[in-house]
Amino acid sequence: MLTYRHGHFGPALLGPLRTLFPSPMQSNWRLYLEQAPAGAPQVSTVFFLKNIMNSLVYALGTRLFSDVLPTHLAASFTHRSEGGVVESGIVPGAGSAPALACAARVGHDKSLAPVFAEAFGNWQNAVQFIACQDAAIAHVERLGRLALGEIQLPVDLAHVLPLQLEPGAAQCSLLAQLPVSEGPFGFMVPAVKFHVLSERLL
């Protein structure tokens, strides 16, 4: 689950005029693939389950112009970092967005729960796998096909901060349906320049 605030989200070709665009909040919920599907480049790839935003304009835009990023509009969306505490919340209202309530504190502990230690070995490897992707796919229901989006997400691992989440501090309507065997693993990326490079159907 990746939750963030955009910085003037708009086409790169507009250059300095992008500062006229708003900075919506977004949360996309994904699965991590061991191997990209046939027809896609064999790079680090995620499968989008849900995508939520707090802007009607951007939500409509992704519905109309993107196959890989169809968006749910939240009735209420908060995401802030203050005094070393990070809080995120999504209230679906009457819409189809999933619900989320999460609070974490910026810490220094980079130890891993056993299941993460077995999978990744150490904290930096875990963060690199989870934070750094080159592509994302989503199922396009109306076409019965997959859509592929290639992205550029140059996360500087040296600046990533560990987050400490207490048991029960993350309440999520989707996670409640999954067989979760460990507590949450979280971290904060202070800033990153994100670019969408291309999108196509597979």
In tens digits, the chain (202 residues) has pLDDT values of 889 887 656 566 666 665 666 578 889 899 999 999 999 999 999 999 989 988 888 788 888 888 888 788 999 999 999 889 999 999 988 888 889 999 999 999 999 989 899 999 999 999 999 999 999 999 998 889 999 999 998 999 999 999 998 767 778 877 777 776 677 789 999 888 888 899 999 9
Q: Return the SS3 of 174.
A: coil
- pTM for the full predicted model: 0.84
Instruction: Provide the residue count of the chain.
Output: 202
Cα three-residue angle 117-176-61, rounded to 5 degrees: 95
Domains in the chain (CATH in brackets) are: 2-201 (2.40.400)
Q: Which residues contact 152 (CB under 8 A, 6 or more apart)?
A: 134, 193, 194, 195, 197
- Quickly count helices (H) and strands (E) in the chain: 3, 13
